[in-house]
């Protein structure tokens, strides 16, 4: 157990160092973008004096290293800065947007994770038979299509032709849970179709790898049914790689929602980022990029920790 805890501590330390490096890259990337931030904020008709005053107000006349550490210190204290375009506090705006994005990602995860595991188990049970081939072909087709195509196709079928769900996913604070769920179902289904194939195929591959073990043959010789052997004996021993791929896709559900949120005009982090990229609002871009990076690195850390703790050779090295 001591070895496992040591590896967990190493992963956490590495994750924090990686996040620090990513924050430096995000800050540097926004600073080397072509164009003048002050000019984009004030417009082409701004006077040189106005531009100089705004640069001084934004701290652009100081060295980049000093500005980076000031920005990093503010982030560590919960101060993400002020949006240049609206003068609003970024932390307050991000809190609402992040909640919306996490809600959408959670709905997609609740649909996609159990469905992917179930389809993976069915594919293993009927390996190389028509259910396995049909599931593999369908999921492969869904992952081959771009997100925007899937989104527009769902809008055409379920919003325009059938009228079951709204085509624009507009949410607000006073919405009931049921109404909010009805509004986000189409973007959630789009995300589900994007990540389903990867999780299903990884589940299938991990279980098939375990199915070749000697204890599986013993369970089969005892007369247990095929699905019971898979569920009771193979699946628990294949859980580590499955958890890894689930966490990776969870990270994608949160970080990769930009295209889906833009298609459905959903007021989440992705839409917020795109709106302010077009306005060249550097503090907002930096804050959103850092939050996305923290979520992605955090979920990958969870996957690593679960993989370590579920490995009996690490928990009991003797």
3-class DSSP assignment, residue 34:
coil
Domain count across the chain: 1
Tell me the Cα Rg of the chain: 24
Helices (H), the chain: 2-31, 37-42, 48-58, 64-76, 90-125, 130-144, 147-154, 177-210, 214-221, 226-229, 235-237, 239-255, 258-263, 269-278, 282-309, 312-315
Residue 61: per-residue pLDDT: 66
Buried b (16+ CB within 10 A) or exposed e, 169-199: bebeeeeeeeebeebbbbbbbbbbbbbbbbb
Instruction: With respect to residue 183, please indicate whether it lies within any of the assigned structural domains.
Output: yes
CA atoms of 106 and 104, how far apart (whole Å): 5
Instruction: With respect to residue 44, please indicate whether it lies within any of the assigned structural domains.
Output: no
CA atoms of 278 and 28, how far apart (whole Å): 19
Residue with tokens 């959903």: 266
314 close to 9: Cβ distance less than 8 angstroms = no
CA atoms of 214 and 219, how far apart (whole Å): 9
Residue with tokens 């190389």: 128
Tens of pLDDT, residues 212-236: 666 666 666 666 666 677 666 666 6
Instruction: With respect to residue 53, please indicate whether it lies within any of the assigned structural domains.
Output: no
Instruction: With respect to residue 83, please indicate whether it lies within any of the assigned structural domains.
Output: no
CA atoms of 259 and 271, how far apart (whole Å): 8
Instruction: With respect to residue 30, please indicate whether it lies within any of the assigned structural domains.
Output: no
CA atoms of 248 and 307, how far apart (whole Å): 13
Instruction: With respect to residue 62, please indicate whether it lies within any of the assigned structural domains.
Output: no
Instruction: With respect to residue 27, please indicate whether it lies within any of the assigned structural domains.
Output: no
Q: Is the dihedral of CA 34, 40, 46, 48 positive or negative?
A: negative
User: Which residues of the chain register pLDDT less than 70?
Assistant: 1, 3-4, 33-46, 50-51, 54-55, 57-61, 85, 211-227, 230-238, 240, 310-318
Chain length of the chain: 318
CA atoms of 59 and 53, how far apart (whole Å): 10
Tens of pLDDT, residues 40-60: 666 666 677 766 776 676 666
The pair of structure tokens assigned to 169 is 């996913």
Q: Which CATH number goes with the domain that contains 242?
A: 1.10.3720.10
Torsion of CA 72, 74, 78, 83, to 10 degrees: -100
CA atoms of 139 and 218, how far apart (whole Å): 32
216 close to 180: Cβ distance less than 8 angstroms = no
CA atoms of 137 and 17, how far apart (whole Å): 41
Instruction: With respect to residue 84, please indicate whether it lies within any of the assigned structural domains.
Output: no
Domain that holds residue 100: 95-281
Maximum CA extent, the chain: 86
CA atoms of 124 and 223, how far apart (whole Å): 18
3-class DSSP assignment, residue 82:
strand
CB count within 10 Å of CB 20 equals 11
The pair of structure tokens assigned to 219 is 């369970």
CA atoms of 189 and 142, how far apart (whole Å): 11
């Amino acid at each position: 157990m001591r070895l496992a805890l040591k590896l967990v501590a190493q992963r956490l330390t590495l994750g924090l160092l990686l996040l620090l490096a990513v924050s430096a890259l995000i800050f540097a990337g926004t600073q080397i973008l072509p164009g003048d931030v002050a000019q984009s904020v004030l417009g082409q008709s701004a006077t040189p004096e106005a531009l100089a005053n705004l640069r001084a107000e934004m701290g652009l006349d100081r060295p980049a290293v000093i500005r980076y550490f000031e920005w990093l210190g503010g982030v560590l204290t919960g101060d993400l800065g002020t949006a240049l375009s609206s003068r609003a506090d970024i932390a307050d705006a991000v809190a609402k947007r992040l909640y919306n994005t996490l809600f959408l990602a959670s709905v997609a995860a609740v649909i996609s994770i159990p469905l992917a595991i179930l389809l993976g188990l069915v594919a293993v049970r009927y390996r190389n038979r028509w259910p396995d081939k049909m599931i593999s072909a369908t999921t492969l087709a869904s992952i081959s299509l771009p997100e925007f195509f899937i989104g527009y196709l769902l809008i055409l079928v379920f919003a325009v032709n059938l009228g079951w769900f709204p085509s624009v996913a507009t949410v607000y604070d006073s919405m009931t849970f049921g109404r909010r769920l009805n509004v986000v179902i189409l973007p959630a289904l789009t995300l589900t179709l994007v990540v389903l194939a990867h999780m299903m195929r990884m589940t299938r591959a991990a279980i098939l790898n375990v199915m070749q073990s000697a204890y599986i043959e013993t369970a089969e010789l005892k007369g247990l049914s095929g699905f019971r052997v898979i569920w009771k004996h193979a699946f628990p021993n294949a859980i580590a790689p499955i958890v890894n791929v689930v966490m990776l896709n969870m990270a994608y559900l949160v970080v990769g929602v930009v295209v889906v949120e833009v298609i459905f005009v959903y007021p989440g982090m992705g839409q917020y980022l795109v709106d302010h990229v077009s306005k060249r609002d550097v503090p907002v871009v930096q804050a959103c990029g850092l939050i996305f990076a923290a979520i992605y690195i955090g979920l990958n850390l969870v996957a690593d920790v679960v993989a370590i703790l579920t490995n009996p050779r690490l928990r009991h090295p003797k």
